[in-house]
Chains A and B, each alone.
Chain A
Amino acid sequence: MALDRRDFLGLAALAAAVGVTPTAGRAALAEGVGRRRARDLGIILGRLPPGTLNAITDVPGVRVGQVTVVAGEGAWQPGASPVRTGLTAILPTADIGSTAVAAGLAVPNGNGELSGLQAIERLGVVASPILLTGTSHVGVVYDAVVDVLAEHGPVPPTPVVGETWDGTLSDVAGRYLGAEQVRAALAAAVGGAVAEGAVGGGTGMICYGFKGGIGTASRRLPAPLEGHHVGVLVQANHGRREMLRIDGVAVGEALADWQGGQPPAPPSGVNSILIVIATDVPLLDVELARVARRAVHGLARTGSISSNSSGDFALAFSTANAVGWRQLLGDGRLIWRTVDQGAIEPVLQATAEATEEAIINALCMATDMAGRDGVLVPALPLAEVTALLAAHGRLHA
């Protein structure tokens, strides 16, 4: 992206003036009071070891930037207040927009929006930053990304913008994100630790009846793919409380009535989840579609059934197969790499495990949030959860 640090700081000053917080990965780890990631609590999911950061950014070259918008409180004033929204930008490469990476898709339940599906399915690539936001902001974010991508040439790729609904906590009649916030998120995208919980696109999200949002995790792969990683980032806004399971323990059932039970549901029922999977294993688009399908297994382990009203999307990309956007559209012969499909098993396992852990991290790191009409969505009560897991022998020192 074209913005330099001065532009970013200028935008940051503007953002701060309207209650917007651009979140660089290293700057803010959403260390809300008492919030800790799953592993730090002794919740160990799966068998493969995590990467150094246990984040999608463990895949070299992947960067994440987020903008969080929190303003107002109390009674809902459509078009004005309160605001609990934001966006999360995932950049597969430093020059995404000029470069495309191989990608595959799985849609467990398509009651939602992830723009660019046709391009991903037809071309087998993602050539846009991946933006995750609230439902009401898909159009304006898409529009802003179009302008950004147009800077790369006359035939820009299709923006990839996904949504989950934040209308329980946030005003969905107004528009609080636009070109400035999109560019701020892109400029703020860095490697390193990723802020989780009620930040970025996950600001106003609710997951299994608790405060949800952004979560991430990764896995280091074993031989013959040692040195490679799978990283997952989710925007978790799905499920009913009684569904939640953590490492096989029916936590949601045990906490069904905790603090008044399930927060108000949206008119359409249960909401959605966006799952982004990154890997540096060289895989073709058809193989990445197989990887994306495994995210569903991780999702299911946390209790989801991809409800009828849910918009569940899993998008997997490989940074090992990158091609110039113009070359992809051109006349030439291109080269990608792949590994034998017999070696892909660890990638599939890593995807399922990292997806599961990313969702639980989102829950563990999110903080209480009050929003529209004073609705209070409590954070997952970590003390109660760890006690439950310990009672079932599922808490590790």
Chain B
Amino acid sequence: MYQLDLHKKIDDLLKLNPATISVDSVDTLINTNTDARRYFFDQVDENWLNWLWENKFLDVIKEKSKDLTRLSYQTTELDYLVKIAVKKPKEVVDIILAVPFSKDHFNLEVIDRFSWICGILPPNELARVVPKMRDEEWIKLMGPFNRGFEYEKMFENLLKAKEYGAVITLAEAVLFIRTEEEFRSSGKGVTTDNPFYTNNLGQTNVFTTLVSVSEEYYERALSVLTNTLGKVIKLGNPKDNDVFSIGEMFHLFDVDFFDLKLEENKYYSYRDDVRNLAAAVKIMCEKTIGKESINLDEAKRLFNEYITPLPDSRSIWRLKLFIWSLHPEIFKEELKNAFFRAFESENHPWQIAGGAEYEHTLKKGFSRLSDEDQRSYINKCIEFFGKNERFQAFGIDILSSVPGNLITSEEKIKIKKVFKNDLNPGHVPEPSIKSQFAGAVIPQVPPGSEEEWKKPIPEIAEFFRTKWTPESLQSLDTKKDFLHPINAEGISGKMRSEIPKRFQEYIENASLFFEREKLDSHYTYSFLRGVEDVIKEKKTELSKTNWDGLFELFKNIVISGNNSPFDPTYKGRESFDAWLAGWSSVHSAMADALNELTSGSEESSILDFNKYRNQTLEIIKYLLTHPDPTPEEDTKSDNDPFSRAINTARGRAFETFVSFVYRDSANFKEDKIKISKDVKEIYENTLDNEETTAIRFLFGHYIPTFFFRDRDWFKNTISSKIFSEGKKDIFLAAWEGYLTANLYEDLFILLNDLYEKAIDLDESEYTKRKYFKDLDTVLATHIALAFTHFENKSDLFDKFWEKENIKRQKEFISFVGRTCVSRDNADLVIKAEKIQIDRLKEFWDWAIENVKNKEILSEFGFWMNLKSKAFSDEKWVAQNTRKTLEKTGGEIDWNYGLMESLPEFLKVDPEETLKILDLHLKNLNTKEGGGWIRVDEDLLGIFKDLYRNPVTKEGAYNLINELLILGSQRFWILKNALE
């Protein structure tokens, strides 16, 4: 029987009264196949509910999940319940209540769909279910599959209906906290460090709803929230100080309870969930303990009942400060103890007094202290924070938070004397870490040094050797502000900002910025970077600059290095609170500055190239002998050769060398050979001595630059050296470098043997290291580019296809498809770039006949595109698409172009289109797990046309029939094509 006829039979059955039908007949009919069952439950209405439930047609929902690692909607009976829940809410809720869940017996899909139903239930019916949700711990059972949308709707509906009791029960059901063991592991798919069972708590609006309950429910809401916060805090780190028994969690580091707001609509991660929980606690504390008319006993009862039991942690301490400050008169004893607690820990006073809350509380509550306590507090403060230089900045902030009128003039004098600073009446309390500044260290120059920078450059240069040495600066940094340290990085930054203002002066005095024994390498480095910045970013007019001073500096470094090599072992060093550049970094900076100077065309150049040519080449020659990178570092590194190369002194020098060669060619405009002897000599010497894959990569990468300047030299002398038969890894690095460069036809021909060798080389023979580009991919790309663009077809192409290599051959087909077919304006590109389109056509025909591997052929997905108009013979494209799909069993790696082009395929060849759809859609539905297609109006339109066409009518009917069995519900829409 056709599936369509079976659908008809079900339609007829459903017209009858269920009471008159035998259970067996329904059972037999709907169990003919999966689609029949699905269709039945899709069509059956709410009047059948009791009959179905009583006759156990819905009993599948009582079964436990077979696989708890995935959630999918397979149970059509649940679709039915979702569908009728609005019409028969009471009956559906009765069924929900009759299906028990426990840790050992539950079904992910059933809970998920029940949750969804709950989102659409009327509030009174929902109120019947929420205790079950809480008691059976649905949110825990669902784990990572929780979403939040349903709960959002539930909270919204309950709140609208003023079902506040149910709101609180639902909040309890949602706010389960993970166990410590679960919290420490990332198991069950919930993100590590997330204390909640869902990654989408913000979506539920649980906190916004909880704080919106009516006054009679305030205390219950406070109870739920504080209880939850307590459990979250307990998940904190182990004790890490001598003040609190639980270490702080980072979730609340940057919170200031005084200005904390509930912002569930601005949600980025579960960290915001914790912050919003804290905000909700704050709000409920304001509404209860902070109520204006509250009396002392009630405030203390609420505090003792809900706040006192919370864990002993710094966050809770800060919360308590906030709560006490709500009624300073009621809590004056607590405030007094809190203020004096700042002196409890000699080592960690900021545990108590750090953050914004302590200071806010001082502002609000200090006046409640007796005069005697006030004097005692201020004196203790001066003594405690004044005696330790480390605490002085902190101490002055605290004293500045005490209302100014409550500090005597004698005390103010004493403060100034001890802290060498005045009180700051405008001081604004800030959290320990401000979220927008967390971790941002901004180095500073010494205070009052602004005038020094206006002095003549030689004087400034002298400061670098005396009072601004990295060591001297450390002693000037008395404040020790972690985020604003005074150090060599601060001075360097300032120098770099000053250089553009007096550029020529700095350049004239450049040689003063190198004195190996007296000036820290970090300052030489910073000077060079400053110069490079100016040139690169054109920060000032440069065309008339006299560069002699800079070349003098370079020369001095070269002489020094030649006399006694610089230590290459470090590029930089950590110095207390700053990173200081070493000599290798200075050499990299030299190369970069030189590169900036020599780059650009003859016309746009800022350097009189010929004047400085020989000096520049000498410096480059020196830099190319720099030991960084060493062969040892090269083998140890876990990075690819290119990334390594450009982060080393010799690598930077090589790039500068290439830049130099570009410029130098202006001197050989009329010559056949466009490269000088001295350049070739340096190139050869460097190559002969080079043993790292990093720099060998660069040799390969820049082959075209040297080849086209002297082809014979390259062919006879260089090629065999770069691609020597010695170490395989060295060879592969140069080859990798070459393949990642643009492709030139002359080189492609010249290096034919190397391509052949590479084709013969198997992936298993590649040395095990990180590659900048996958070798097989770049080889395939080069062969493909040559194939599509070069007029003469190389024999390499045949060789490439003679030896099966799935990865390379897949890449070849896919790359050609992406570059020539499935791209914007493919037809225009083909013309403009003279792509050998006939060759592409021949290749596709050949591949269909000769390539046996389905995986390789499936890459033709990028070719199956009529929208792009790459191929003019559209009928041929349709045929080849069908033929390819026949070979691959309907499988293609990329079906986007094909699906988008279906209307064009239909116009060109309806019969082929039907076959294409037959092959591809049936495959999508049989592919394990991956078959997915959206059957929308566009596809329906295609089927309508196919069914209208007498030639394809029967085929379309048959295909729809088959698709119903294979894909069931997702293809039912196609039945509309038959109308």
Do A and B bind? no
Please give the residue numbers on chain A whose beta carbons come within 8 Å of chain B beta carbons, in ascending order. Answer: none
